[in-house]
Structure 1
Amino acid sequence: MKILIVDDSKAMQAIVKRSLKACGYGGCDMQLASDGVEALAIIKQWHPDIVLSDWYMPKMTGIELLAAVNKAQLDVKIGFVTSETEAVKIQQAKQAGARFVLSKPFTDEALYQAMLPLLDEEDNEASASQDRPELIRLPKVEAIHTIVNAFARKEVLIESVPSGPFHNRWLPCFLAVFVDPAKRVRAVAVVDFAGLAILAASMEGLDDPKLREIVNKKALPKAMMANVNRLFKVLGTNLLDPKTGDFLALQSINFAAKSMPKLEKMFNKPNQERVDVELAVLGYGQGYLTIVCS
C-alpha cells in the first residue's frame, strides 16, 4: 500500500509518519509533500492508495488539492489531518469526498480508527470475486491446545485472547501458510518469535536459560524449527473447507522481519475469520498465535 503524507510542516510530516508506523503501517511505501501542488504531481505519477493531507498550506490548500483530484478523476482516497475544527468546513470536505477529517493533535489509536474503513474497502474490493471459496473452519482453542500438547514435553497453556490490529511488537514473526488441494492459500497462522520459541522449547523440554538465549538471539536451531514444522503440518489437518470437506496442507513457513501491508490486513479480519491465543509455559513467559482465513 502506498501512502502520501502532505503537510507544510516537516515536524508534522514526521509525526504522521511515526504514528503510521506505530499503527502497524511501517511496511507501507510512503512519500512526503509540502503543499498541494507538489502532492498533486506525486499523485499523478506515483498513484498512492491513500493521501493524508493538511488543510492550510501554501500554493495549494488541502481542500483545493481534493478538488483538483476530483476534477482529474484520480483514483485515490484522501483524508485530512488538520487543525481545522469548523463544522461547516469539515462538512464541506466530506461532501467533496474526504474520507475522514482527523483533528490535530491526534493519538495513534485515533489515526488507526480513521484509516481502518479505508483498508476494509480494499479488502471488500479484493473479495468481490464471484468464485470466492467459503471461509475455512478454524480450530477451537481446545483443539489447538490438544494438538500443541501432543508434541510437548512441557505443558503449553493456551488461552483465548481478544483480537486486535497488527503491532510491531509482533516482529519478528513467522507465517505458516496453508493451502487447499488446488494450491490456493486459504489460511495463515502468525506466531511471534517468543511464541515460536515457546513451542519449540516445550517440545525439547528445554530449561529457561536455554530458551532465553534463543529468544535473545532471535534464531531457532534447525532441528527445533523442523519440530515446529511438523506441528504446523498437523495443525493444517484441523483447518477444514466446509464446502468440499478437504483439510488444508502446510505450504511453507516464512520469516517476517518487518511489517507488510498484507500482514497488517490479516489482523483487520473480523472475529469470525480468526482465532487468537496466548501461548505460555511456566518459567518460559508467553507468546502469541493468530490463525486467520485468507
Structure 2
Amino acid sequence: MYKIMLVDDEAEVREAIRESIDWPRHGYEFAGSCANGAEALGAILDIRPDLVLSDICMPLMDGIEMTKHVSRAAPDTKVVILTGHDEFDYAQQALRLKVHDFVVKPITPRELRALLDRIKLELDREAEERESMARLREQLQESLPLLKERFLECLVQGSIGEEEAERKFAYFGLAKPVPPLVAISVDIDQLDDHSRERWENNPELQRYAAYKIALEATEHRSALVFRTKEERVVALLSGIAEDSDDDIVQLSETIRRSVEKYMKFTVTVGVGTRCASLGELPCSYEASLSALDYRFLLGNNRVIRLQDLERPASFSCPPDYEWNRKFASALKTGTHRETHQLIEQFIGQLKSSSLPLEVCYVRTQSMMIDTVNSIRELLGDGGDWLRQLGAALQNIDGFHRLEDVEAWLKNISGEAIRLIAERRSDLSQLQVRSAIEYIEQRYQEESLSLMDICNHVHMSKSYFSTLFKQHTGQTMMEYVTRIRLETAKTLLQADPPIKTYDIAASVGYGDPQYFSVLFKKHVGVTPTEFRDAATKEPKA
C-alpha cells in the first residue's frame, strides 16, 4: 500500500476527509495529518509518504512554500493541492512547481475516491517502471564483463573508431593501452584421451580456466585480457620495451605450462607482431591468429611466433606422381609397413619444408584426395565405407593438425588393404572352386595337366599352385590323384566286377601297372586285394 498524509489547518476538515475514505480499500495507508506546512514538512521528511493532500492557505508555512521544499527534499512524493475558487493565483504557482494536481474545494468523498484511484494507478505504473529500470540496471551490471569483452574484440579486429574507443575505455573504466602493443592469442587444443574425461562435459569451465590462468600470468603487467566469441583468450600487452621479445615468449610459455600442469589440458599460444599504435593493433592480432594456424604443421601445446616461421620463398607445388604410384602399389600388395612409411615420409617432408602454410594446406589436401582416388580405383564400388571417405573430404578443413591427417591416412589405408584382401580372397575362392569343378569334369582324361587347369582359371602355374594349396591343403596333383583313387575304389566294389585295367582307364590312367603301383602307395593294398577284401565283407 501507498502512504498518504493530509495537511490542512482546519481540524474538522482533516477529520472529515479521514473518516470519509476506506483507505486500505483504495490501496493506501493513512500515515498522519498536520495543521500547517512547517509541521508537515518535518513529518514528510521522516515518513516519506507517496502522496500528500494539502491545503494552500495555512499559518506558519502555506502549501506552496511546503511544496517547494518537498520537491527538493523528497522528489518522489506527489503533492495534490486543495484550493478554493478565489485562490487562482496560488493554483498557477502550484503548476509552476509541478504540483501533481490541484482540486477545487469543497470536494465530495466520491470525487476524492476517484482522485485517489487515479493517482494509485499512476503510482503503480511508476513502481513498475522503477522495478523495470532496476532490472535493466542489474542486467547491465551483469552484462558489463561481456560488453567489455565485445568492445575489446572489436578493438583488435579494427571495427571500432578511435573516438568511440576513447569513450568506451572511459565507460568501462579501462586504462587506454600505451604503445608499443603486442596481441597474443591462447587457443584450447583438441582434447586427448587423458583430458577428455575431465573436460569434455565442462567446456565453459575449461575456457574459464584458461582465461583465469592468462589473467593471473599478466597480473603484474600492463595488459588487457579477454575472451572472444570464438572462445579464444586474448592478452593485449602494452608498453612493450624494444628488447622484450623474449619476455613475451616467456609469458606465453608460462600460460601454456600452467594450463598443462594445473588444468590437465593443453593450449597453443600465438604471438602477434609488435605495433606502434592502436590503429595497427588489428595487424598484431591477425598475426597471432595466423601463428595459431601453424599448429597444423607443428602440433599442439606450444608457443608459436609468426615471425619465426614465415620466410619469403620462391616455390612451385607440382603433384607428386611418384609418391602416388608407390602408395597405390603398396595398397595393392597389402603392405601395411610400406604404406605407413610412405605416409610418414610425406608428413615429415611437409613439416621440415619452408613452404608457406597455405601451400602446405594445398599439398595435404591434394594428397588426401589422391589417396582416396587410389583406393576408389582399387576397390571400384566400395560401398558405404568409400562414400564415407568422400564425405570426409567434404569436411577436409576439419583436420587441425598434420598428426590428425597422418592418423586418418593410416587408418583408411589399413581399412583399404583389409577390403582389398577380402575381395582378393573372395575372388581366389571362386577361382579355386572353378578349378575343382573343372577337375571333377575332366579327371578321367589321362592328358589332364596343371597347365590345362591354369589356362581354365587364367592364372600362372606358380600362383595357382600356391593358391590351390592355401584353399584345399593339397597340391593340384594330390587332389586329382585322390579324386581318381576314390572313384576307383567305388568301381572295384561293383557287381559284376569290372576289370582292373578298365577301371584304370576310366579314372585317367592308361597304364594299368602304374595305376596298381599308385593305388597300393596311397591305399596300402593292390586293387585286387582291395576288391577281395570288399567282397568278403558281409553285406548289410
Normalized against structure 1, the TM-score is what? Answer: 0.40
Greater strand fraction, Structure 1 or Structure 2? 1
**Larger RCO of the pair (alpha carbons < 8 Å, separation 6+):** 1
Greater helix fraction, Structure 1 or Structure 2? 2
Bigger radius of gyration: 2
